[in-house]
Amino acid sequence: MLNTKEKLNYQTNITLDKYCLWEIEGDRRGDVISCLNGTLWITQQGDLRDYILEPGQDFWVTRSGTVIVQALEKSKFKFSLDEIQNHVESNHQPVHLNLHSRTSQRLP
């Protein structure tokens, strides 16, 4: 387990055997998990949704707290610290939409 709140810039490749867990704690918003091969299940503290990543897909950590990654089969992923500067809004991670936002209301 990596437990740090430092804002470091690095990337590391992590290999997990089937059903093995990896976790990180702290305020890791902006960090990225990129699936290189296999299938990953990801959950983050305070988020009711779970995420499944397949090769070529990325997960951006959006909440402070523990993030857990489990390999659903032997898998390899890249973990990148503090990549928020490289974030592109075309990323396909789900976005929470507020049904009562101003943009959804009709103007008079």
In the chain the domains, ranked by start, together with CATH numbers, are 2-84 (2.60.120.10)
pLDDT digits (tens, 9 = 90+) for 14-59: 999 999 999 999 998 989 999 999 999 999 999 999 999 999 999 9
Whole-number Å distance between alpha carbons of 11 and 8: 10
- How many CB atoms lie under 10 A from the CB of residue 57? 17
Strands (E), the chain: 2-3, 11-16, 21-25, 32-37, 40-44, 51-53, 58-60, 67-71, 75-80
pLDDT digits (tens, 9 = 90+) for 54-94: 999 999 999 999 999 999 999 999 999 876 555 444 445 43
List of residues 6+ apart from 22 with CB closer than 8 A: 1, 14, 16, 68, 69, 70
Q: What is the pLDDT of residue 102?
A: 37
**Residue 80: strand pairing partners:** 11, 32
How far is the CA of 78 from the CAs of 11, 27, 35, 56, 61, in angstroms? 7, 18, 7, 11, 13
